[in-house]
Amino acid sequence: MSEILAVEARHLTVRFGDFAAVKDVSFTVRPGEIFGFLGANGAGKTTTIRVLCGLLAPTEGVVRVGGIGFENGAEPIKRKVGYMSQKFTLYDDLTVEENFDFTSSLRKLDPAIAARRRQELLDFISFSRPLDTFVRDLPGGLRQQVSLAAALLHDPEIVFLDEPTAGVSPAARALFWALIRKLAASGKTIFVTTHYMDEAEYCGRIALMRSGELIALDSPEGLKRSTFPAPLYELSPRSEGARIRIPELKRDPAIASLEAYGIRFHVAPRSEPEWERALPELRGDFEIRRIQPSLEDVFIRLVEGGNR
Amino acid sequence: MKLSRALAISRKEVRHILRDPFTLLLALVLPVLTTIIFGYAIEFNMRNIPTAVHDGDRTLSSRTLLESFGSSRYYLLEPATGTPEAVQALSADRARAAIIIEPGFEARLRSGRGAKAQLIIDGSDNSAAGAILGYLAGVQSIAAARLLDPAPPPSAIALEPRFLFNPELNSRWFIVPGLTVVVIAILSILLTSLTVAREWENGSMELLLSTPVEPVEIIVGKLLPYTVMGLAGMFLIYLGARVVFSVPFAGSHLAYLLASALFLAACLGQGLLISVLLRKQQLSMQFAMLSGLLPSILLSGFIFPIEHMPLFFRILTSILPPRWFILASRQIHLQGAGIADIAQPLLMLSLIAAALVGLASRKFKRDLEP
């Protein structure tokens, strides 16, 4: 274990009064990894990120970011990380240049270095507009990219992105993820939360949180395998009458889980022989086809299934 | 604390201010507008009070008496045809006072039995009634001197009032120095309370905190531009008072600057405390207006004298900055006070400002530090 871990959390607990937002969470992130952080709203994702960015002290447990903990206060951690919050990106009434200047002054960067970094980052995101454009005049996708560049200004080792693509068009999301992959390839560690399952597929590993607890941690493929060891089937009702049978099927002993996906349903059988027995009767009402489980199946099974 | 980081925040804040028409308007127009409104519209001196007159005597003496009223400039006489009509002018609000002289006025005067005339005053407006009554004594002595041939002997004890510092009791001289308190209180409490609440509300506070910036740097950086703005507002009102209303400035400018700066610090601290506690712009704005306006108008001595308040309010006002600043401001403007003369207000303002800024910083620091 000579390699320094990018992020290390051991038995991390954060309490606000009597409420525990994060309960005994442990995980590690390797340098250069794209680490996805998934969970429903209020699962404790943002609280965990705030601790890792030095915005909040852990109530219990140990946190090390870039090999540095809280022993000398939060400032050494803040130097190591870049943070892009979900709520706020840039000041609307300032220009792109003024936003950059503000961030580099707060980080006390040398003006010459800051100017060079700024140009590199603007090239990196292929920013072609005038620097005196007001942020409010930028389209949503471009604004996220500029915000990412601002978070990278002090060349942090680890970048925390809290729902960076919320409310952005699909094309802009794809562009943003191309940037994220490029960053990871250049050695930066990316710690990202998202509600888009297609984005989660891009992550090297995914941590799933539910009510403050870490309930799963694996690669996307590993998560799919461990959550759905048996094959998954998609049921398309042939008629309205078939749809009415759904509540009854949910109680069927042959079926482990049944979730609605739009007008179709995803079914995980309890065992292959039982499923084979139930199949002929089901074919009358449903069109049935075998599918590969998606991360969405995993998410719904683990995160939302647990709340029922 | 690093000055460069605090200045970076100030620079950003100045940009926000310059690009926000509402803030700019508030900062520049409010002082000018309120000076004009208060200076011109609020007038405690009364002139040409409409007065209905019924002269039932119609003699030289009764006319001389009425002329004494008319020539005083305070009363504007409007003849009525009878007592009922004069009283009706009062109730219809066409007159604020009525003078009734019954037949036989001159006869009684000549016979030495003591002549009487009746003055009826509209009592529904307290301060106007008080002023009308106040002018009466002067008119009475003028009339007596004219009407009685050997002039009446002076009373054994004569009280001769003379008003120091403001000989004509010019109410503008009294109001305009107090005006600064209202304008600055609203301006600085409101603007500072918005500035921190805005960062909380739009989430940018979190971004600020993800950088190594310290709470004290945020506070200093935020307060600096508003201090400059507040002092500029004070200067505008000072100019307006001196140039437009010719309010005398008898005291020390240094003392005035010192008192202004301390009062401003207290207001900024109050605004900061509000926004640190409430964290919402809408709520902060309402609370700032309320806590800025009410004490500075009602409990500062600006309009209602503190000495006449019940004990509870007298004690309450002593922890409110506006009371001390108004006291200092009037002493400097009209009585020619220097720093030593206003030591007590200065001391109280320093204490209150230190308490407010200290409280706000402590609460702010506790909220921010991990």
My answer on whether B262 and B362 are in the same domain is yes
Q: Check CB contact under 8 Å for A78 and B211.
A: yes
CA A253 to chain centre: 35
Q: In what order do the strands lie in the sheet with B118-121?
A: B75-79, B49-55, B97-101, B118-121
pLDDT of residue A1: 45
* Secondary structure of residue A9 in the 3-state scheme: strand
Q: Could you tell me where the DSSP H helices lie in chain A?
A: 45-52, 75-80, 96-106, 111-124, 140-151, 170-185, 197-200, 220-227, 240-244, 246-250, 272-283, 295-299
Examine the pLDDT at B36 and tell me if it is beyond 90: no
Distance from CA of B199 to the nearest CA of A (A): 10
d(CA A237, CA B358): 68
Residues A106, B369: C-beta atoms closer than 8 Å:
no
Same domain membership, residue B80 and residue B20: no
Give dist(CA B36, CA B39) in Å, integer: 5
Burial-class residue A30 by CB neighbours within 10 Å (0-12, 13-18, 19+). middle
Give the list of residues 6+ apart from residue A159 with CB closer than 8 angstroms, or none: A81, A82, A83, A84, A148, A151, A152, A183, A188, A189, A190, A191
Distance, CA of A282 to CA of A235 (rounded, Å) = 9
Among B residues 8-67, those touching chain A with beta carbons less than 8 Å apart: 8-9, 11-12, 15-16, 19-20
DSSP states along B244-304: IS-----S-HHHHHHHHHHHHHHHHHHHHHHHHHH--HHHHHHHHHHHHHHHHHHSSSSSS
Q: How many angstroms separate the CA atoms of A147 and A125, rounded? A: 10
Q: CA end-to-end span of chain A, whole Å?
A: 41
Average pLDDT over residues B240-268: 90
Q: What is the mean pLDDT of chain B?
A: 85
Per-residue pLDDT, averaged over B60-87, amounts to 86
The minimal CB distance from A85 to the residues B12, B20, B207 is found for B207
Cβ-defined contact of A107 to B15 (cutoff 8 Å): no
User: Which one of B20, B206, B212 has the shortest CB-CB distance to A75?
Assistant: B212
Please give the structure tokens belonging to residue A219. 């690669």
Q: Is A34 exposed, middle or buried (0-12, 13-18, 19+ CB in 10 A)?
A: buried
Residue at B156 is within a domain: no
Check B210 against A54: CB less than 8 A apart: yes
Residue B155 located in a structural domain: no
Does residue B158 sit within a domain?
no
SS3 for A251?
A: coil
Residue B325 zone, left/alpha/beta (φ > 0; ψ -120 to 50; rest)? alpha
Residues B97 and B23 in one domain: no
**Nearest partner of B45 among B137, B177, B143, B166, judged by Cα:** B166
User: What percentage of chain B carries pLDDT values higher than 90?
Assistant: 22
Closest by CA position to A44, among listed A76, A16, A7, A2: A16
CATH of the domain at B58: 3.40.1710.10
Select from B87, B116, B147 the last residue of a domain: B147
- Co-location of B113 and B234 in the same domain: no
Q: What's the gap in Å between the CA of A54 and the closest CA on chain B?
A: 7
B12 with A94: Cβ contact below 8 A: yes
Segment B32-61 mean pLDDT? 80
Say yes or no for a CB contact (<8 Å) between B206 and A56: no
Distance CA A160, CA B337 (A): 60
* pLDDT score of B33 more than 60: yes
Contact across the interface for A105 and B11, Cβ inside 8 Å: yes
Do B14 and B64 lie in a common domain? no
Tell whether B188 and B141 lie within a shared domain: no
**β-pair partners for A162:** A193
Q: Is B258 found in the same domain as B122? A: no
For testing contact with chain A, the best of B206, B213, B217 (most A CBs within 10 A) = B206
By the 10 Å C-beta count (0-12 exposed, 13-18 middle, 19+ buried), B184 is classed as buried
**B interface mutation test: which of A90, A91, A106 has the most B CBs within 10 A?**
A106
Type of residue numbered A306: G
Average pLDDT over residues B51-62: 89
Last residue of a domain, one of B87, B113, B147: B147
- CA separation for the pair A26, A51 (Å, rounded): 13
The whole-number pLDDT of residue A114 equals: 94
User: How many other CB atoms sit within 10 Å of the CB of residue A133?
Assistant: 15
What is the model's pLDDT at position B237? Answer: 85
Specify which residues B101 forms β-bridges with: B55
- Residues B22 and B63 grouped into a single domain: no
Q: For position A25, what pLDDT does the model report?
A: 95
pLDDT at residue B216, as a whole number: 87
CA B281 to CA B193: how far, in whole Å? 8
Q: Residue A166: how many CB atoms within 10 A of its CB? A: 15
DSSP A294: P
Q: Is B165 within the bounds of a domain? A: no
Look at residue A290 and give its three-state secondary structure.
Answer: strand
Instruction: Specify if B332 maps to a domain.
Output: yes
Q: Domain count of chain B? A: 2
- B156 vs A260: which has the higher pLDDT: A260
Q: Tell me if B238 is assigned to some domain.
A: yes
B163: in domain: no
State the smallest CA–CA distance between residue B16 and chain A in angstroms: 7
Q: How far is A83 from chain B (nearest CA, A)?
A: 7
- The answer to whether residue B102 is domain-embedded is yes
Q: Based on the domain organization, do B55 and B35 belong to the same domain?
A: no
Domain limits for position B313:
3-42+170-368
User: B212 and B358 in one domain?
Assistant: yes
Residue A2, SS3?
A: coil
**In this structure, are B35 and B54 located in the same domain?**
no
Residue A180 confidence (pLDDT): 95
- Where is A216: in which H helix or E strand? strand A213-218
User: Cβ of B211 and A55 within 8 Å?
Assistant: no
As separate numbers, helices (DSSP H) first and strands (DSSP E) second, chain A gives 12, 13
pLDDT tens per residue across span B166-220: 666 667 777 777 778 888 888 889 889 988 899 988 888 888 888 888 888 998 8
Q: Is the pLDDT score of B64 beyond 50? A: yes
pLDDT, tens only, A125-135: 999 999 999 99
CA distance B81 to B52: 10
Q: Using CB atoms within 10 A of its CB, is residue B314 exposed (0-12), middle (13-18) or buried (19+)?
A: middle
A142-146, B28-32, B343-347: least confident range? B28-32
Per residue of chain A (308 residues), what is the pLDDT tens digit? 446 899 999 999 999 989 999 999 999 999 999 999 998 888 899 999 999 999 899 999 999 999 999 888 888 999 999 999 887 778 999 999 999 999 999 999 999 999 999 999 999 999 999 999 999 999 988 999 999 999 999 999 999 999 999 888 999 999 999 999 999 999 999 999 998 989 999 999 999 999 999 999 999 999 998 888 878 899 999 888 888 888 888 888 888 888 888 889 999 888 888 888 888 888 888 999 988 888 888 888 887 665 44
As a whole number of angstroms, the distance between CA B243 and CA A239 comes to 88
Q: What is the pLDDT of residue A10?
A: 95
Cα–Cα dist B38/B165, whole Å: 21
Same-domain check for residues B125 and B236: no
Nearest CA of chain A to the CA of B74: how many Å? 57
Q: Tell me which chain B residue has its CA closest to the CA of residue A75.
A: B212
B9–A54 CB contact, under 8 Å: no
For residue A308, what pLDDT is reported? 44
Which has more pLDDT, A163 or B161? A163
A-chain CB neighbours of B7 within 8 Å are: 105
Of A220, A94, A279, residue with least CA distance to B14: A94
Q: Which residue from A160, A40, A147, A141 is spatially nearest to A102, judged by alpha carbons?
A: A147
Distance from CA of A93 to the nearest CA of B (A): 7
Check CB contact of B206 with chain A, cutoff 8 Å.
Answer: yes
Report how far apart, in Å, the C-alpha atoms of B243 and of each of A87, A266, B235, B328 are: 50, 82, 12, 21
| Final residue belonging to a domain, choices B112, B147, B182 | B147
